[in-house]
Every structure is written in structure tokens, then in C-alpha cells.
Amino acid sequence: MIFTKRIGIDLGTANSLVWLAGEGVVLNEPTVVAVTVDDNRVVAVGNEAKEMLGRTPGTIVATRPMRDGVIADYRITEALLSYFIDRVAGRNRFFKPEVMICVPTGVTQVERRAVLDATLAAGAKVAYLIEEPLAAAIGAKIPIAAASGNMIVDIGGGSTEAAVISLGGVVVHKSARVAGNKIDEAIAQYIKKKYNLIIGERMAETIKTTIGDAIGGEKLSAVSSQQSARKNQFEALKTESGKLPASSVEVRGRDAVAGMPRMVTLTRSEITEAITPVLHQIIGAVKAVLEDTPPELAADIIDKGIVMAGGTSLLTHLDALMTQMTGVVCHVAEDPLLCVVRGTGVALENIELYKRSVNRR
């Protein structure tokens, strides 16, 4: 048993992170696989494959095998898992590793079985599944075993997971297949509709990270006098998050009418306008959980606030917008990108403590 490596994998729609027991996070790569069209042979995985997105010749296709947080292409996902396990445990291993993977709360039994089967086929001795909100809560250092309500919102690339956790289990949860990727799509559609400019997936993501803003500077300063206390909180959040993102960015793409390369300049307020409908869908999932939360746990959540995890929670002022729309203080966890994988690793290292919360195969 001492020779068996234990590996925790956060198999995300946008990025995959790998945790090795005793060492911590050892791998952080995009969930992208490049395969040949002729014989479906895997050519590249991770960072190398992401560089190929939108730039491959006709003989190679770069794809994301995960869609909305679940497996969209079983064979390619298996190849991805094999790559991660080989990188961490070594290709010529005598002892097969134990592997724990996290899945969204709302996935079906068929989707759970697909993840377990792919993990075992990729070379694991034992496969465990843990729900994403639980893993995120453990990684955010929330005391999930206490008889007290804690709310976690994990906003990743493919799905938003909102859950209330008490006594080591999920009491109320809502999974919305709307997150970072939908924000990218909304930006691309807005630019195509307004400027007749077609941009790629990577350009949309660059725009989001450069000038993406959930509220916009003007709206943030225009909070009504009745909400002055909340305005102070917004300003504190604004100060904590550092300076505002750049006010504009140059966007390059292909003209939808002429078909020629073209460049336009986008402002932060335009991006706020483009992504607001998607952000409202994300916050709608949070509101749905709050509406179904038992009163005793709701009282705990008002006291403690909502903890946000996942890469998309880093969008500028998203915490302020969520606070404004729910009336409950929201704050981003420390290292939100690593919360889920860290929680997966902690659960795997202390499997006896968390065995009620995981599925095993």
C-alpha cells in the first residue's frame, strides 16, 4: 500500500489539475487533446494541444473532450487521463495508482459510470468520485463536517455548481451548465453582431481576462444612496482586487462580410453589456439554491456569506455583482483555481474521513 501513489484529478472543461499525495498540485494544463483525422491517434495533450486550437491543418483536429463539466468524448478523455497518470505515476509502473476524480453534482449515473470506467481504463487500480462542491468546500478550508450551513459556488469553464453543505453532505444544490465558456461565446457573438467580426475561441478568452468586468466602473460608482453600506463593501472589494482591468483592447479577427482580416477596439463597458445575460443565468442558479435552503441553514449563510471558487470567479467585480443581486455577502476563496483539486487531494489523503462523500469502483 505504501508504494501505491494516490492521485487527485480535477478534470475541468477548460483546465485540468492533478494532485499527488504528499506533493500537492503537480500538473495544471488545458483540457485539450489534438488527434489525427485518419486514425484517431492522439498527437498532443494539454498546453501543446491548446496552441493548436483554431490553427490545425486538415489532418489534425484539436478538441475539448469535456463539455459542460461531463465527458463528451469517452475515448479522448481516456487518452487524456492516461497522459496525466503516466506523467505523474510514470509510464512503467509496477503498482497501479489510486485515483480520485471530481464530477458536477447534477451528473447522471450514466455520466458517473463513464468517468469511473475511463479512469480504470486509463490505468487506475481504484477509482473514486467526489462531487465538485464538496471538493471545492474542502479546498477552500470550509469546515464541512460541522452542523452549520456553508454555501459554496464553484464557477468553472463548463458548469456552475452552487451548493449548501452541512454535516459533511450536500443539503441543497443546483448545477447550471453555464460558466466561463458561455461568457466567451457571448463575447464572440456580441462582436459578430455589432462589428461583423468573427473571432476565435482563444481571442474571446483573452478579451474576457483582459477587460472583462461584471459591473463596469460607472455602474459600480452609481449605486443608489439607499445602498450606501453595500457601496462601501463594493469599494472594499474593488480595492482588494487591485486596479481595474484595461479600459479597452484591440481585437483581431475576420470580417464576416468582406472575409478579410480586420481589427476593432472594444471597451470594458461593451464587454459588460455582452456578458451580463450569462452572469444573470449564473446568479440565477445561486438564487435557486438560496430559495430552497432550510431557514436554519439560511441564517448561517447570512452570517458567513457565500464562498466563490473556480477560475471564472476571478472575473472582475463578479463577487460585487453577486452580493448586489442576492443580498448576501460573497467573497472569493484563496486560490480559487486550486480549490477543487486541493479538496480532492485532501479527501483522497483522508479517505476514511470522507468515505461517506465519495463513490468507489
Number of structural domains (the chain) is 2
Q: Are residues 81 and 197 in the same domain?
A: no
Q: Are residues 11 and 111 in the same domain?
A: yes
Q: Are residues 186 and 317 in the same domain?
A: yes
Looking at the domain assignment, is residue 146 inside a domain?
no
Q: Are residues 327 and 343 in the same domain?
A: no
Task: Note whether 302 and 102 are within 8 A (CB).
Answer: no
DSSP 222: T
Task: Note whether 293 and 229 are within 8 A (CB).
Answer: no
Band of pLDDT at residue 287, cut at 50, 70 and 90: very high
Residue 256 has pLDDT above 50, yes or no: yes
Q: Are residues 134 and 229 in the same domain?
A: no
Q: Are residues 303 and 323 in the same domain?
A: yes
Q: Are residues 97 and 214 in the same domain?
A: no
Q: Which domain holds residue 302?
A: 180-332
Looking at the domain assignment, is residue 164 inside a domain?
no
CA distance 162 to 154: 6
Residue 214 has pLDDT above 50, yes or no: yes
Looking at the domain assignment, is residue 244 inside a domain?
yes
C-alpha cell at 275: 456578458
Q: Are residues 230 and 270 in the same domain?
A: yes
Q: Are residues 270 and 192 in the same domain?
A: yes
Looking at the domain assignment, is residue 88 inside a domain?
yes
- CATH at residue 311: 3.90.640.10
Q: Are residues 325 and 185 in the same domain?
A: yes
Alpha helices in 154-212 (DSSP H): 180-195, 201-211
The answer to whether the pTM exceeds 0.95 is no
Contacts with 230 (C-beta within 8 Å, 6 or more apart), sequence order: 223, 323, 324
Looking at the domain assignment, is residue 162 inside a domain?
no
Element (H, E) at 297: helix 295-304
Band of pLDDT at residue 308, cut at 50, 70 and 90: very high
Per-residue pLDDT of 30-50, as tens digits, reads 888 888 888 878 888 888 888
Query: Looking up cell 477548460, which residue turns up?
Result: 14
Looking at the domain assignment, is residue 258 inside a domain?
yes
- CATH at residue 99: 3.30.420.40
Distances (CA, A) of 26 to 7, 9, 18, 157, 278: 10, 10, 6, 20, 33
**Residue 353: per-residue pLDDT:** 83
Looking at the domain assignment, is residue 67 inside a domain?
yes
CA distance 48 to 66: 17
Q: Are residues 310 and 190 in the same domain?
A: yes
Band of pLDDT at residue 74, cut at 50, 70 and 90: confident
Mean pLDDT of the chain: 85
Q: Are residues 218 and 125 in the same domain?
A: no
Looking at the domain assignment, is residue 197 inside a domain?
yes
